[in-house]
Structure 1
Amino acid sequence: MAQATRTVHRPYMTRTLWRSTVGKKTVMAVTGLIMLGYLVVHMLGNLKIFFGRDEFNGYAHWLRTLGEPLLYYEWALWGVRVVLLAAVVLHAVSAYQLSRRDIRARPAKYVHKRPRASYATRTMRWGGIILGLFIVWHLLDLTTLTVNENAQHGRPYENVVASFSTWYGNTVYLTAMLALGLHIRHGFWSAAQTLGAGKASRDRALKTAADALALVLTAGFVSVPVAVMTGLVN
């Protein structure tokens, strides 16, 4: 009977956690770390372009055959996509609802405007919107190849070069990567605080780690379009 009672109350406890501010912040922290882990792997994969066409195209093919013969072609890749989509949606919804909750909590504007937060903190919301729009563009550009005028199916190396050979492709990508760096810089530290790792004794180390992660990821992603623009990759 006791076990049955606990089982009945689990959905209620889940709904209560989701509706609470702490619950939403926890969802944002966990989904943010999932996306951060993906970004690290994605950046490392992107850097394979510096090892030549065959290496990069081989990596792209490996992603689609990952898990074979246990899994069918692209099943593992689609599994990653589903997890990432769920993480992005939950992260965005939590951020929006927390923002609305914050606005309702203080409907009157402050009399004295003294920006106490960092630039990254103040631009988190706009940065999130920019990154959301960029995800759509990035998929249309290098996944569906809809907006990539010179794209060719089955030739990922050539498609990357084609995308970064246009001024608008570079502008969109570089703008989004700068927004990403700022987002990671604040988001990593904020996630650590939410998950209980942000004790006073670790605060400096966490901020240093956040700065380092933001710098490394931004530099890693930006290096590819810069290499194409300068002719290092062609």
Structure 2
Amino acid sequence: MALKAMMAVTGLLLIAFLLVHMYGNLKMFLGAEEYNHYAEWLKGLSEDGGILFPLMPPGWFIWVFRFVLLAAVVLHMYSAATLWKRALKANPSTYQAKRDLARTYSARTMRWGGIILAVGLVFHLLQFTAKLTLVNTPANLDPYQTVISEFQVWWLVLGYAIWVLAVCMHIRHGFWSAFATLGANTSAKARAVLNGCAWAVALILYIGFVIMPVSVLFGWIH
């Protein structure tokens, strides 16, 4: 039960991060000045000292945040892998049990969805944070121009849209499962509400993340 709770809490923390990150990405629609200021503010390089200044020296928050986020990812993956191994050891023996297990959404997609999410995340961080896997852009451009240049490549936008779809499929089930694990799945009405919220969060994230690169590709942001 402790592992399930840890996976639920870390999963919800990561969903919260994605919602905030999506909101930050949408600042691209406000123009270069707003987006570049946002990027500098995150790193603690803005004139106001960034997040939690003066409680933390400029530039510290982003590293603390990255450490917490990395810890959440590692704990989430550890919980998922451990629970999966336990499920394999249980080895349901009846035909009906095996059929039910194969039919569940999590058994069919959650593990592969998590792997796809992790691989895409690593590439995404190397591309826009470390600037080591840039496809169409010199590394010396500011954040706004980097995003503009990269998402002018159609196949990159397509790949990004497919990756985000996989992420949101993972989130749709993960959101529902997390709240069920934490005790919110108490009735048929509660299940219906949780399912509706899970779909809403997944759709908001998909539209919010994909609309910006698509807008760049079609020249609506330039």
The code of the aligned residue for 1:206 comes to L
Identify which of 66, 87, 94 aligns with 2:72.
Answer: 87
Say whether residues 1:228 and 2:207 are aligned partners: no
- Once the two structures are superposed, residues 167-192 of structure 1 have per-residue CA deviations (whole angstroms, 9 ceiling, x without a partner) of 44223311210011111110011000
Aligned to 1:179: 166
TM-score for both structures, normalised by structure 1:
0.84
Give the 3-state SS of the residue equivalent to 1:205 in structure 2: helix
Aligned to 1:64: 43
5+ residue gaps, structure 1, are 1-21
Give the 3-state SS of the residue equivalent to 1:85 in structure 2: helix
* % identical equivalent positions: 44
Query: What is the deviation of 1:124?
Result: 0.9
Query: What is the deviation of 1:152?
Result: 3.2
Aligned to 1:98: 83
Moved more, 32-41 or 167-176: 167-176
5+ residue gaps, structure 2, are 45-50
Higher relative contact order (CA 8 A, sep 6+): 2
Query: What is the deviation of 1:129?
Result: 0.3
Query: What is the deviation of 1:160?
Result: 1.1
Q: 1:121, 1:186 within 8 Å by CA — same for their partners in 2? A: no
Say whether residues 1:216 and 2:204 are aligned partners: yes
TM-score for both structures, normalised by structure 2:
0.88
The code of the aligned residue for 2:173 comes to H
Could you tell me how far apart the structure 2 residues matched to 1:228 and 1:39 are? Answer: 20
1:126–1:109 Cα change, 3 Å: farther
Which structure would you say has the larger Rg?
1
Q: 2:116, 2:163 within 8 Å by CA — same for their partners in 1? A: yes
- Once the two structures are superposed, residues 133-159 of structure 1 have per-residue CA deviations (whole angstroms, 9 ceiling, x without a partner) of 011101110001001141434611111
Identify which of 114, 128, 141 aligns with 2:114.
Answer: 128
Could you tell me how far apart the structure 2 residues matched to 1:204 and 1:212 are? Answer: 12
- Once the two structures are superposed, residues 74-131 of structure 1 have per-residue CA deviations (whole angstroms, 9 ceiling, x without a partner) of 211111111100000000011111111111111668477465434x662111110000
Aligned to 2:47: none
For this pair of structures, how many residues does the alignment match?
212
Give the 3-state SS of the residue equivalent to 2:130 in structure 1: coil
Aligned to 1:38: 17
Moved more, 185-194 or 104-113: 104-113
Could you tell me how far apart the structure 2 residues matched to 1:107 and 1:121 are? Answer: 13
Could you tell me how far apart the structure 2 residues matched to 1:156 and 1:55 are? Answer: 11
